[in-house]
Structure 1
Amino acid sequence: MTTSAPPPVADAPQDPAAAAPGLTARLDALDRITAAGSGRLAPSLLDDAAVLLDRAGQRLRLSGDHTVVTLAGGTGSGKSSLFNAVCGLELSPTGMRRPMTSRAHACVWGLDGAGPLLDWLDVDKRHRYARASALDLQRADDSLQGLVLIDLPDHDSVQAMHRAEVDRFVSIADLLIWVVDPQKYADAALHRNYIVPFAKHAGVTLIVLNQVDRLAPDEVDECVADLRRLLEAEGLAKPRIVTTSAVSEEGVRGLREVLVDTVAARHARSERLAVDVTDIGERFLPYKGEAEPPTAVDAPHRDELMRALTDAAGAPAVAEAMESAYELRAADFISWPILSLVARLRTDPLRRMRLGELREELRGAFTGPTGAQQGEVDTALMDVTDGVITDLPDAWVRSVRAAARKHAAELPEELGEAMKEALPSFNQVPRWWWLVKTWQYFLVLVSLLGLVWIGLLVAYGVADVAEAPSGWVGESGLIPYVAVLVVCTLGMGWLTTATSRNLVALSSAKHGERMERHMRERIVAVAEQKVLEPINEELALYAAFRDDVDLVRGA
């Protein structure tokens, strides 16, 4: 009897737990991918990943000492006869009419721990059978202990529920055995519905060419060669093909040997799950992208964002207004009091606007959405994302843009609050303003006293209205000197005002710059928290996603 089944891989783990760490890490990565893809990737793909995670979790929690092997095939392929031949008992009905096997039948070698596994497989208890731990084969050490062999309904059954049963088991079995016969091994339904979709599962797929007793020896080789060619053309790499005949015990020896080796290796469960994980990992590749993603918003785009948000909030205009308010406020302290008194006697529209209270009015102006222009904010958010989405897949382009706009509606108010916090209170003024004001009033007092002195000198020394009480007020010759004193005092007041105004001009410019810097610092803090952090988190999530995709694929 010919066989073309290759021996087990030499470096395959002999303990199922040996493969668990790598598989567990890949499943963990798939779980992270599924979480990261929520709301970003195709829901159908995420659903398939969730189903695989659930199935893998359940299978790994069940017996690792048992290997689930399914016998599947079409009507008349002889799979039920093959099932009975391997089991050594007539357990599954056989025949050529359609369908014969209506429910899955399971034969178990070694019952310890098999119950929960069979419950999970949903095998009816009426169709569960147990066998001894060893078969009477040529070698005494040949053992199928740990094998769960399942005979499935026909995949080409006219009953939809039968086909659904086959589909369910094909998706969860540890080892897939497709039984074909010499007449229908090229059956289109089998190849289209199962061989091609599961071509990547070549490592856990076995093709059994049954009923070779009907062929001559040279015809068997021709059938095997043609079947191999067909399978390879459909993407099944290095297909394992075994020839069998259920009419004699020798006819199933090759199949038994494969089953013995598979059960002994105990890696079919992990290998099947690993292939499934790799397969679904490949489906995430379109969302991975080829270029290395940026880890954060680069400095030029960050600076441009800050400038745009600063302009949108009107920080330069507010700083200029604050500078003007500073100068107006200073005028109340450094101006020559006499000129200020004259000015107050005139109608002053600026005073009527209460510019002395400008800061408090400005502080109240940033409490609502008018603190910044929503349109300018939206433009700034779009511009900052343009610098990081160039090489990202479309799904992640949308997610990065969504992250940037996560707080777009509240940004104007946040910027307004930041501006408000940057404005200082108005109760404090520089000490030198008070010194200048005190000096100015002192000069005013001296000027007034000088004028009074001149008046007394004129009254007593010139008009001689009465006898002078003292020479200081009766000597008319002092008038020029007192007049000079008054003129000098007025000149000192004017000079003090002019000098102070120059100083105020310089300090007001610094005050405006300081206010603008404070507003920028607070705007930067808002932008970092509300815009840059969400974008950077999304980019970090994408970078982790790319690494996890490679891990899931086993790359």
Structure 2
Amino acid sequence: MKLLRRKEGPSLDSRLAALIEAADLGAGRLPDEAVAAAREVAGRAGARRELSLDHTVVALAGATGSGKSSLYNALAGKKLADVGVTRPTTSAAQAALWDGDGAGPLLDWLEVPYRHSASEATGAGDLAGLVLLDLPDHDSIRLSHRLEVDRLVSQVDLLVWVVDPQKYADAALHERYLRPLAGHRDVTVMVLNQVDRLPPAAVERCLDDLRRLLEGDGLTGVPVLAVSATTGQGLDALRTLLAQRVADRRSWSARLSADLTTAADHLAAGEPPPIGSVHLAPGGPSATPGGRHAPGQPPAIAAGGGPGKDEVAKRLDGAGRGLTGALCAAAGVPVIVEAVAKGHRHRAVVATGWPVTRWLRRFRPDPLRRLRIEPPRGRRDGDGREVVGRTSVPAASVAQRAQVETAIRDVAEVAAGGLPGPWAAAVRQAARSRAIELTDAVDRVVATTSAGATRRPRWWRAVNLLQWLVFAALLAGAIWLGVLFAMDYLRLPQPPLPTAGPVPWPTVLLVGGAVAGVVIALLSRLAAWAGGRRRARRTAKALRTAIGQVGHELVIEPAQAELATYARFTEALEVARG
């Protein structure tokens, strides 16, 4: 029988590194506060790991009059904190230590100035390694007290919230602290203090109501204890729970794990996590009103929520074709293709036409030369690239430029589809980031690609040679006949005259050369017409491919690079969540 092992998640080190990577990838794309908050959480987690792991820092937090300081004294076994009923008496956190050797650097990091040794009569052996903090009141009228609570709430290993029967449902506590701490249920304990003031039945009703409120805060399953610091009721159960958490030596890692998960969730949503922020307020980032995400639930992220990679690639391919078409129209490809066909026929006539009349063609302008599309001359710049001059293709019209802008926007929208707002904006910006280079880049590939249409076919040289041979025969026949005419005119004796059948050879050479030259020229022009159409089609295809590559390089590739960054971001967040 095979034993199935549960797959272990990534280590704390891996999650910490992943959160830092996600924050780095989100920099410049997500709000600065969200990135800074994630880095702060990562820095805090890294600092805590370097300090004593043999000590568990437990904080008693509560409102004014909840009996927090009384409970602190009862657990410590002696009076360490002043007790007040109606106004705050704790102005700075103080610590009670059970076997506190080696806890100094940890308390220095926590900036806790007051440190005491707990009474040996409180079970120091079971609680060895416990560092119990008494925090100022979270509802204090003094801002410095509230800021101190916010700071330490983000740093301690285990949070014990002390409430009383009158204010356990206080909205400030639930909305400002408990709800944002929904992901920290493993390091949260609720203590209902002063239960000695209630009959047993009322105590049970308060506990049930408190559990209901905690469930609404996303803290289902959090331990809820009934305690009286005055009579000692429930103190043994609280000590036992604290002893178990201290003995496990896992509260620190559970706290850091919860911090990393929460920070990753809020970084995914592009908002600073409430944990570690001194600006916690009712209805904060994790509150449900106003369409926010529910307590205890990670913010929505597009990992797996948007179209898949294949679907995005398919849509980008379609948008890329639209971009290529718009760029081709703006670059004057139809004009160039027509000029290629006409230019081929023009140069064919010059190269293969009847030598007697071909020179007249030179007075007509070459359509490609008018567009300043000429063969490369072998010049290269400092980077080794071939120097290509700008063409004289007519500039794109307003409508054509608008079509290009629309095509770029279509690519951006397709690439950004299904992404969260900040990342969608980053993809759109990336798609447009190099749009200013399009005009020059397209003109360069137009000049380079179209220059191939000016190359002369090899048969032109053969036909040209044939034409000159025929012309030479015609010229020889004309000279021969001229000599014969002069001799006859001077009454000189005629030399023997060879014939081709009944026709003298000088006449054959003259007439045959003229007829053959005209026929060869007509056939060459017919071949040039067909070749011009074929070359125009090839040039159109080559231009579309080259311009499509420019659009892909300057528009689609930046968007794809941003999508790849987002993919790495989501992968890092999944690792950071553990």
Same fold (TM over 0.5): yes
- The Cα of 1:196 is off from its aligned counterpart by 3.7
Change over 3 Å in CA distance of 1:460–1:225 after alignment to 2: closer
Aligned to 1:288: 302
Aligned to 1:203: 186
For the Cα contact (< 8 Å) 2:63–2:138, is it kept in 1?
A: yes
For the Cα contact (< 8 Å) 2:169–2:210, is it kept in 1?
A: yes
The one of 325, 338, 341 equivalent to 1:323 is: 341
For the Cα contact (< 8 Å) 2:339–2:368, is it kept in 1?
A: no
The one of 543, 547, 560 equivalent to 1:536 is: 560
The one of 392, 403, 415 equivalent to 2:430 is: 403
For the Cα contact (< 8 Å) 2:320–2:552, is it kept in 1?
A: no
- The Cα of 1:491 is off from its aligned counterpart by 0.8
Aligned to 1:236: 219
- The Cα of 1:481 is off from its aligned counterpart by 5.2
Change over 3 Å in CA distance of 1:68–1:317 after alignment to 2: same
Change over 3 Å in CA distance of 1:450–1:533 after alignment to 2: same
Change over 3 Å in CA distance of 1:89–1:164 after alignment to 2: same
Q: Which amino acid aligns with 2:513?
A: T
For the Cα contact (< 8 Å) 2:375–2:454, is it kept in 1?
A: no
Aligned to 1:300: 318
Q: Is 1:501 paired with 2:525?
A: yes
What is the alpha-carbon distance in structure 1 between the residues aligned to residue 88 and residue 574 of structure 2? 44
For the Cα contact (< 8 Å) 1:179–1:209, is it kept in 2?
A: yes
For the Cα contact (< 8 Å) 1:294–1:388, is it kept in 2?
A: no
- The Cα of 1:480 is off from its aligned counterpart by 5.4
What is the alpha-carbon distance in structure 2 between the residues aligned to residue 379 and residue 225 of structure 1? 60
Moved more, 505-514 or 354-363: 354-363
Aligned to 1:54: 43
Aligned to 1:155: 138
Q: Is 1:414 paired with 2:441?
A: yes
Q: Deviations over 1:185-226 (max 9, x none)?
A: 444543443334434433322122223344455554444344
Change over 3 Å in CA distance of 1:352–1:99 after alignment to 2: closer
- The Cα of 1:312 is off from its aligned counterpart by 2.7
Moved more, 148-157 or 110-119: 110-119
Change over 3 Å in CA distance of 1:355–1:41 after alignment to 2: closer
- The Cα of 1:67 is off from its aligned counterpart by 1.5
Q: Which amino acid aligns with 2:81?
A: S
**Residues 11-50 of structure 1: pairs in structure 2 closer than 5 A:** 21-50=10-39
SS in 1 for 2:70: helix
SS in 2 for 1:59: helix
Aligned to 1:350: 365
**Residues 212-251 of structure 1: pairs in structure 2 closer than 5 A:** 212-247=195-230
Moved more, 45-54 or 448-457: 45-54
SS in 2 for 1:242: strand
Aligned to 2:115: 128
Q: Deviations over 1:34-70 (max 9, x none)?
A: 3343344444433433332232222223222222111
The one of 490, 495, 505 equivalent to 1:470 is: 495
Change over 3 Å in CA distance of 1:203–1:128 after alignment to 2: same
What is the alpha-carbon distance in structure 2 between the residues aligned to residue 232 and residue 409 of structure 1? 55
For the Cα contact (< 8 Å) 2:75–2:235, is it kept in 1?
A: yes
Aligned to 2:62: 73
Aligned to 2:295: none
For the Cα contact (< 8 Å) 2:60–2:68, is it kept in 1?
A: yes
Change over 3 Å in CA distance of 1:308–1:230 after alignment to 2: closer
Q: Which amino acid aligns with 1:294?
A: K
The one of 513, 519, 524 equivalent to 2:543 is: 519
What is the alpha-carbon distance in structure 1 between the residues aligned to residue 132 and residue 367 of structure 2? 98
SS in 2 for 1:359: coil
The one of 247, 256, 265 equivalent to 1:273 is: 256
- TM (normalized to structure 1)? 0.82
Q: Deviations over 1:150-196 (max 9, x none)?
A: 01112232222112111221222221112223444444543443334
Q: Deviations over 1:496-543 (max 9, x none)?
A: 111222222233333333333433343233233222222222233334
Unmatched runs of 5 consecutive residues or more in structure 1:
1-12
Change over 3 Å in CA distance of 1:441–1:86 after alignment to 2: same
The structure number with the bigger radius of gyration is 1
Identity between Structure 1 and Structure 2 (%): 39
Q: Which amino acid aligns with 2:447?
A: K
- The Cα of 1:144 is off from its aligned counterpart by 1.6
Q: Which amino acid aligns with 1:364?
A: G
SS in 1 for 2:154: helix
Unmatched runs of 5 consecutive residues or more in structure 2:
1-5, 270-298, 378-387
For the Cα contact (< 8 Å) 1:71–1:149, is it kept in 2?
A: yes
Q: Is 1:510 paired with 2:534?
A: yes
Q: Which amino acid aligns with 1:288?
A: A
What is the alpha-carbon distance in structure 2 between the residues aligned to residue 356 and residue 59 of structure 1? 70
Q: Which amino acid aligns with 1:91?
A: L
Q: Which amino acid aligns with 1:143?
A: D
Moved more, 398-407 or 519-528: 519-528
Q: RMSD between aligned alpha carbons?
A: 3.7
Change over 3 Å in CA distance of 1:19–1:262 after alignment to 2: farther
Change over 3 Å in CA distance of 1:135–1:264 after alignment to 2: farther
Q: Which amino acid aligns with 1:84?
A: N
- The Cα of 1:104 is off from its aligned counterpart by 0.5
What is the alpha-carbon distance in structure 2 between the residues aligned to residue 375 and residue 189 of structure 1? 55
**Residues 421-460 of structure 1: pairs in structure 2 closer than 5 A:** 421-424=448-451, 429-460=456-487
Aligned to 2:235: 252
- TM (normalized to structure 2)? 0.79
Q: Which amino acid aligns with 1:359?
A: E
What is the alpha-carbon distance in structure 2 between the residues aligned to residue 356 and residue 181 of structure 1? 88
For the Cα contact (< 8 Å) 2:56–2:131, is it kept in 1?
A: yes
Change over 3 Å in CA distance of 1:392–1:368 after alignment to 2: farther
For the Cα contact (< 8 Å) 1:297–1:387, is it kept in 2?
A: no
Q: Is 1:93 paired with 2:107?
A: no
For the Cα contact (< 8 Å) 2:306–2:417, is it kept in 1?
A: no
What is the alpha-carbon distance in structure 2 between the residues aligned to residue 369 and residue 20 of structure 1? 62
Q: Deviations over 1:472-497 (max 9, x none)?
A: 49x9x988553243211211111111
Moved more, 367-376 or 396-405: 367-376
